[in-house]
Amino acid sequence: MKLLEERILRDGEFKGNDIVRVDSFLNCQMDINLISEIGKEFFRLFGDKEITKILTVEASGIGIACITATYFKVPVVFAKKTQSANISEEDGLLTAKVRSFTKKTENIIRVDRRYISPFDRVLLIDDFLATGEALLGMIEIVRQAGAEVAGAGICVEKAFQPGGDTVRKMGVDLHSLAIIDKDADGNMIFIEK
Amino acid sequence: MKLLEERILRDGEFKGNDIVRVDSFLNCQMDINLISEIGKEFFRLFGDKEITKILTVEASGIGIACITATYFKVPVVFAKKTQSANISEEDGLLTAKVRSFTKKTENIIRVDRRYISPFDRVLLIDDFLATGEALLGMIEIVRQAGAEVAGAGICVEKAFQPGGDTVRKMGVDLHSLAIIDKDADGNMIFIEK
């Protein structure tokens, strides 16, 4: 998606340790016009997939998921994060373990079982895809519910981390609107997958 | 707002300790049609206030703030929560202490100073108002930035807890779309303020 790539080039911050910060328009401060265009693009990509629900993980995916949902006219469910060990696998909860790459923590993400039914066709939405931990956690939750992963829409994927390829190999219909890689000199480039 | 009151009566869950759960339509699972109507109502209430930015706190306020922002066509900033003691007051951060009534924890909420300027007229948005801690934290952050609190829009206020009245006494233009109180027998009723 050209609009997002151009915005990343203009306003993204590139730090050491392969960190790309998009805080000023996608996370922390959200450019609502940009996110509306992102939502439209996800609808263009997945609008024919008979999506019944959108799933994301708190916190930064929620705004993108909600604006996307205004085009699909389906409910949004967001998985809540809890520090590991605080929660046991209770009846009525769908849970998965998720490690955070940037924060170096391990969380359990959880969704009330009532909010994803075996009849749901779920679109997964998130802002970033790097190691793939959050996305794999959401896939695990949808499968626990006996529902179907109808697709996954990501704003920014880092191609130099393994998450995207892992998820594609699982057969998930994954679309990332901007895929960042590094050329031989370590400069950031956008690629297609 | 009749639509929200009716929905709370139909799908809300009322637990002991004055807890009202709206997880199935406002929090965890979000009814996007309802939230679009909520966004429209906030625009009706605050549309003439020359709002330049919407501020909320992660996580459950983000979706409501983002959909509301599609009517105002302004950016959304969300304050991030960090467990106290993990963060010192750094240059470049606006911070405030916030205790959580339901989780019995104390957090620091923080916003990058670049995202609220002294010229901003800020609309505060959140799903719940009970003790008022989150809203008071947001007011503190806006004032640290030298900006103006142009109003506060809340979905569900609990009148039997002090937050709403505290914030009204400060002169903030606060609108809560559903205000829950208890009658002499402890039954839930909606009131106007």
Q: Give tens-digit pLDDT for A115-141.
A: 999 999 999 999 999 999 999 999 999
Residue B90 pLDDT greater than 70, yes or no: no
B123 and chain A in contact, CB less than 8 A: no
Q: Of the candidates B86, B101, B78, which has an alpha carbon nearest to the alpha carbon of residue B158?
A: B101
- Choosing among B23, B54, B62, which should be mutated to test the A contact, i.e. which has the most A CBs within 10 A? B62
A16-20, A37-41, B66-70, B176-180: segment of lowest average pLDDT: A16-20
Residue B49 pLDDT greater than 90, yes or no: yes
Strand, helix or coil at B12?
coil
Chain B residues in contact with A33 (beta carbon < 8 A): 73
Residue A190 pLDDT greater than 60, yes or no: yes
- Residue A99 makes CB contacts below 8 A (sequence gap 6+) with A105, A106, A107, A131, A133
* CATH (one of 3.40.50.2020, 3.20.20.70, 3.30.450.40, 3.20.20.210) for B2-191: 3.40.50.2020
| pLDDT the model gives residue A14 | 81
Of chain B, the percentage scoring pLDDT greater than 90 comes to 77
DSSP string of B69-110? HHHHT--EEEEEEEETTS----TTEEEEEEE-TTT--EEEEE
User: In this structure, which amino acid lies at residue A61?
Assistant: G
B4-13, B90-99, B110-119, B174-183: segment of lowest average pLDDT: B90-99
Chain A residues in contact with B78 (beta carbon < 8 A): 28, 30, 59, 63
Chain B residues in contact with A24 (beta carbon < 8 A): 114-115
A173, containing H or E segment: none
Cα–Cα–Cα angle for A94, A76, B108, rounded to 5 degrees: 80
pLDDT band for position A91 (50/70/90)?
A: low
| pLDDT the model gives residue A184 | 87
The mean pLDDT of chain A is: 92
Mean pLDDT of B117-142: 96
pLDDT band for position B22 (50/70/90)?
A: very high
| pLDDT the model gives residue B81 | 86
Q: Are B63 and B126 a contacting pair, CB within 8 Å?
A: no
Residue written as token pair 């002090």: B162
DSSP string of A9-51? HHH-EE-STT-EE-TTTEESEE-HHHHHHHHHHHHHHHTTS--
| pLDDT the model gives residue B91 | 67
- List the domain boundaries for chain A: 2-191
Separation in Å, CA of B117 to nearest CA in chain A: 13
Mean pLDDT of B109-124: 96
Interface of A with B in 150-169 (CB under 8 A): none
pLDDT band for position B84 (50/70/90)?
A: low
| pLDDT the model gives residue A39 | 98
A2-11, B96-105, B120-129, B161-170: segment of lowest average pLDDT: B96-105
Dihedral, B130, B131, B133, B135 alpha carbons, nearest 10: 40
Residue B122 pLDDT greater than 60, yes or no: yes
Query: What angle, 0 to 180 degrees and rounded to 10, lies between the N-to-C axes of helices A61-72 and A32-46?
Result: 50
Mean pLDDT of B132-153: 97
B19 and chain A in contact, CB less than 8 A: no
A108-112, A163-167, B30-34, B101-105: segment of lowest average pLDDT: B101-105
Q: Are A120 and A95 a contacting pair, CB within 8 Å?
A: no
A97-101, A104-108, B99-103: segment of lowest average pLDDT: B99-103
Chain A residues in contact with B102 (beta carbon < 8 A): none
Q: Of the candidates B23, B18, B19, which has an alpha carbon nearest to the alpha carbon of residue B7?
A: B23
Q: What is the pLDDT of residues A21-78, one digit of tens each?
A: 899 999 899 999 999 999 999 999 999 999 999 999 999 999 999 999 999 999 999 9
Is B30 within 8 Å of A67 when comparing Cβ atoms? no
| pLDDT the model gives residue B89 | 52
The mean pLDDT of chain B is: 92
Q: State which residue of chain B sits closest to A66, comparing Cα positions.
A: B63
Residue A89 pLDDT greater than 70, yes or no: no
pTM: 0.94
pLDDT band for position A86 (50/70/90)?
A: very low
B159 or B183, greater pLDDT: B159
pLDDT band for position B170 (50/70/90)?
A: very high
Q: What is the pLDDT of residues A57-67, one digit of tens each?
A: 999 999 999 99
